Structure 1
Amino acid sequence: MRKIGIIGLGHVGAAVAYTLVTKGIADELVLIDKSDQIVQAEKLDLEDTQAGLVTHTQITTQDYTQLRDAAIVIMAAGDISIFSDGKNNRQAELKITSRIAEEAAPKIMASGFDGILLDITNPCDVVTTYLQRLTGLPQQQVFGTGTVLDTMRMRRAVAGELQVSLQDIQGYNLGEHGESQFTAWSTITVATRPIKEVLAQHNTDITALEKTIRSRAWQIISGKGFTSYGIAAAAVTVVQAIFSDAHITLPVSSWNAEHQLYIGQPTLIGRAGVLSTVDATLSAEEQQAFNNSATYIQQNLDSLAASQLQ
């Protein structure tokens, strides 16, 4: 039984649920949200959707005990009000989402859940680290979407710049899913050719291209107030990798033993969750960017710990 729980039925959680249902990926969904009205409406809408499908997904709502035999629980709760001024107030975001994690984690574990906990809730790396601490689940069973979406945006931008297929672009964006993430150009190839060699032939301004990649989210947020489809696709990609035991390398937010926190890094994903992390041969400049990103995540974790002492 491919059973998935989704906690948080806002724009992102709803988009994930819709994708899982329409692609026939989940046999059973457990939908949980702070609003009974919203979760019931989403259930009804998804049931109507299935009238036009050849697959079936059983949907239950507002029952944490149903998570006991879920293969995957997706944490997608948040509060889009943090974008009300057009900027992401990371401290305000963490204050809200850390409380959500504190409320949800005991209920998840009380159900007897022992599957994979996939975090989308932001700040992704901080909340993923916090959720692992709160649940006590093994580190390989807890991870976040990390820089999967950032990598998707990078591949789209590079393919558009070079007018080639997305499938020809391989490589990663790494680090925090946030402002300190970076494009690891040394990992990127275009049909096996090093990216910098190809971009040089096209007289591409790499600095401008990276800025385009990094600003993509804010372009979307400034237009509709949130992002949803891209991150939903990233989460579903991870879900499919788990269910199919794909042994695929994705830049999820996984446990980094050196920095003792979760961060976006190349990670081998299969049915058991994180199978291993994969060493990326980074340039000295990129390694420093990765370390800086880890430091930023740690600072947010430290601020969370400090706020709990007040």
Structure 2
Amino acid sequence: MQGTSDRPEATGQVADAVKGNWVDRLAPARTRPYLRLSRADRPIGTWLLLLPCWWGLLLAMLSDGRASWHDAWIFAGCGIGAILMRGAGCTWNDITDRHIDGSVARTASRPIPSGQVTAKQALAWAVVQSLISFAILLTFNPAAIALGVLSLAPVAIYPFAKRFTWWPQIFLGLAFNWGALLAWTAHTGSLGWPAVALYLAGICWTLFYDTIYAHQDREDDALIGVKSTARLFDHDTPAWLKRFLVGTVVLMGTAVALAVPRGEILLLVVALAAPWAMGWHLTWQLARFDRDDSDRLLMLFRSNRDAGLIPVLFFAALLLA
């Protein structure tokens, strides 16, 4: 029989955290609740926020053929900012969901419903993370700074979306893929249509992976009245995932076609291989989708780090060629 001290609610561990993660093993005990609020024990979300940033930056560099040391800072700044803003956004999400999370098996062990921190302490932590992230944003050009400030709107709205729409994943997509717009603009100085197409591709991708993720909570969400695309699509989910897959590939391909300079046929062909290869990874996920297997759902969701890295590797290889 499992001892009480082994349960997540007794040890402070979060039920769906990566087993043996560095927060549970190495972080000082007093910092663990705050790091768990920021999902430092579940890094996949940081990757999903970061990768569209790197898509936008690398595609912008391909579009004008320019590279500078400031681009290296944009690359690194996006990484630091993704950690901080994902942390701030998740903390805000847990504050707004504190009365819901306790009723859902997967989220009952989170720091606020399990009593590790108060809502006021969590709010202070969200502010600290946001202010540090804003300091990084100020190192970018004015247009990128303005976009960064505007990104707070979808971040603030997302936690409430599941209360008023069956499509909260769209609001997550609006927030999580904003970096494609910001990083493109940080390099070029202005927003462009390739970045917009890339942003829309990212939203389709988010609809794909977060619908898979939401199936883990389908039954609990139904009991407490929380909406999601997983509940909306139910048994039709594979057909909808296929649509989101196609949308991701077509829109990213459109972004590439708009970004690559005219006449660069070989560059265009190789760059278009990026969304094509990513599409094959999403096809692999779709073939293994099982709406009733929570372990597989979580595995497929986490595999989207690798899916999103595929365009990064293709675009980076073209820049280095």
TM-score when scaled to structure 2? Answer: 0.27
Whose strand proportion is higher, 1 or 2? 1
Whose helix proportion is higher, 1 or 2? 2
Which structure would you say has the larger RCO, counting Cα contacts within 8 Å and 6 or more residues apart? 2
